[in-house]
């Protein structure tokens, strides 16, 4: 079983400019000679340190020092991390505001220094002070003023520390506090679609590298259209040093893009596009959204044959478009010595049609020509 340490300095020679190191989780600190009168012209400092994940709570059970304006004679000064937390002097029985009373002093971190000083003389007998300190656990999950201690998603406190965890679909980064996503295998093969940063329009994940690939058949050209609601962390002087979007389209590159100005419309002139999105370990920006469409390589306009028609009839034809040729009543399609009611051609990736436009002939003439060819074949046989 552990007991509080009682620090009492009985000899004046030991009281001058002493520094005492305290590393226990709790303890008691007393002025020299307590409860007898403390000596004149003395100075003692107690340096208290506890493990990381704890703070130090200090309070006084007894306080009786010489009173003076701004505590210029005798005083107790409490400091932590290069800042003064409090300076006390006087007696509890007076109405002075400089005595600690029931006040509890809490350090911002695991270190605290308490210094007692007395001047060269005392007009009365003063008994000094009796103080106690204890280590108290820091709930890092509630104290998020320090951004480096905050968890991205979920924070779990335990005695002396904390740990972070992530929502489903996320993984914990090597810094043990940032939640990132695995987003390097996004493949789009449809001729149109929508691509967004993860969680859009909520803030996108930190410390992530996302790759989105749009892969279409050769003969298509992809066009990207970013929405105006574009919000990617930037820098006022350096181009996109934190988060950014880069686009690779064949041998061309677009970007990097960041800030609040949308990249707008990008015609890639290719059928294969890679969108790389990088985020660092900070920021709360909303991200981006784009839609993409694919336009095929154009083919020449087609004209219907005499006494025929084409469907659909439109002003422009592109890769994969199909046209059906049919003839008016009393006519049939004749192509390569074969007759039919209709004939279909398709726009190819190189911008040409799959076949020539057939002709329309009267049904009787087409039949006679067919019968004539059959008779000739029989004679030849």
Question: Which of the listed CATH numbers 2.30.30.830, 2.60.120.290, 3.40.50.300, 1.20.210.10 matches domain 182-296?
Answer: 2.60.120.290
Is 6-137's fold the same as 182-296's? yes
Task: Tell me the domain boundaries of the chain.
Answer: 6-137, 139-180, 182-296, 298-380
Examine the pLDDT at 52 and tell me if it is beyond 70: yes
Domain 139-180 in this protein, CATH class: mainly beta
d(CA 226, CA 264): 5
Examine the pLDDT at 159 and tell me if it is beyond 60: yes
Measure Cα distances from 39 to 9, 45, 122, 126, 355 in Å: 10, 15, 9, 9, 113
| Strand order from edge to edge, sheet including 220-226 | 192-196, 289-296, 220-226, 265-267
Q: Considering only 11-25, 108-122, 332-346, which range has the smallest mean pLDDT?
A: 11-25
Q: What pLDDT does 105 receive?
A: 96
d(CA 107, CA 217): 66
d(CA 366, CA 334): 7
CATH H-level, domain 298-380: superfamily: Complement Module, domain 1 (2.10.70.10)
Tokens of 328: 């008016």
Check if the beta carbon of residue 361 is closer than 8 Å to that of residue 305: no
Rounded to the nearest integer, the mean pLDDT of the chain is: 87
For residues 122 and 37, the model is more confident at 37
Tokens of 105: 């002093």
Q: What is the pLDDT of residues 181-231, one digit of tens each?
A: 888 889 999 999 999 999 999 999 999 999 999 999 999 999 999 999 999
Examine the pLDDT at 57 and tell me if it is beyond 60: yes
Q: What is the pLDDT of residues 334-358, one digit of tens each?
A: 988 888 899 999 999 999 999 999 9
Q: What pLDDT does 168 receive?
A: 87
Using DSSP's 3-state secondary structure scheme, residue 261 falls into coil
> How many Cα atoms within 13 Å fall on the side-chain side of residue 30?
15
C-alpha 36 chain-centroid distance: 61
Question: Which of the listed CATH numbers 2.60.120.290, 3.10.20.310, 2.60.40.10, 3.40.50.720 matches domain 6-137?
Answer: 2.60.120.290
Q: What pLDDT does 241 receive?
A: 94
Check if the beta carbon of residue 90 is closer than 8 Å to that of residue 98: yes
The band of 93, judged by pLDDT with boundaries at 50, 70 and 90, is: low
- Least Cα distance to 239 among 256, 226, 264 occurs for 256
Check if the beta carbon of residue 65 is closer than 8 Å to that of residue 126: yes
Residues in Cβ contact with 289 at an 8 Å cutoff, skipping those fewer than 6 apart: 194, 195, 196, 197, 200, 201, 226, 227, 229
Enumerate the β-bridge partners of residue 222: 294
Q: What is the pLDDT of residues 124-153, one digit of tens each?
A: 889 999 999 999 998 888 876 545 557 888
Using DSSP's 3-state secondary structure scheme, residue 338 falls into strand
Q: What pLDDT does 144 receive?
A: 62
């Amino acid at each position: 079983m552990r007991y509080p340490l009682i620090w009492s300095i009985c000899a004046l020679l030991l009281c001058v400019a002493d520094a005492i190191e305290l590393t226990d989780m709790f303890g008691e600190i007393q002025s020299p000679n307590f409860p007898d009168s403390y000596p004149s012209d003395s100075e003692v400092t107690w340096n208290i340190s506890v493990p990381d994940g704890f703070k130090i709570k200090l309070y006084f059970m007894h306080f009786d020092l010489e009173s003076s304006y701004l505590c210029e004679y005798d005083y107790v000064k409490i400091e932590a991390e290069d800042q003064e937390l409090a300076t006390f002097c006087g007696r509890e029985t007076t109405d002075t505001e400089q005595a600690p009373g029931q006040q509890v002093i809490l350090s911002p971190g695991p270190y605290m220094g308490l210094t007692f000083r007395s001047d060269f003389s005392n007009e009365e007998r003063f008994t000094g002070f009796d103080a106690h300190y204890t280590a108290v656990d820091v709930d890092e999950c509630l104290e998020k003023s320090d951004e480096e201690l905050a968890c991205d998603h979920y924070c779990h406190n335990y005695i002396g520390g904390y740990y972070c965890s992530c929502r489903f679909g996320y993984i914990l980064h090597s810094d043990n506090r940032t939640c990132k996503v695995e987003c390097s295998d996004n493949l789009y093969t449809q001729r149109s679609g929508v691509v967004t940063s993860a969680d859009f329009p909520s803030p996108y994940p930190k410390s992530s590298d996302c790759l989105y690939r749009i892969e279409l058949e050769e003969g298509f050209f992809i066009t990207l259209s970013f929405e105006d609601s574009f919000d990617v962390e930037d820098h006022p002087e350096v181009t996109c040093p934190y988060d950014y979007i880069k686009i690779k389209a064949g041998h061309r590159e677009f970007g990097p893009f960041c800030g609040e100005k949308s990249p707008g419309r990008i015609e890639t002139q290719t059928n294969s596009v890679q969108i790389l999105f990088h985020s660092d370990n900070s920021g709360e920006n909303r991200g981006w959204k784009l839609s993409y469409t694919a336009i095929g390589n154009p083919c020449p306009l087609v004209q219907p044959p005499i006494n025929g028609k084409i469907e659909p009839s439109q002003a422009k034809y592109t890769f994969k478009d199909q046209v059906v040729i049919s003839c008016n009543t009393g006519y049939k399609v004749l192509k390569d010595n074969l007759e039919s009611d209709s004939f279909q051609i398709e726009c190819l990736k190189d911008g040409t049609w799959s076949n020539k436009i057939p002709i329309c002939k009267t049904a009787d003439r087409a039949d006679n020509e067919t019968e004539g060819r059959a008779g000739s074949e029989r004679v030849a046989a």
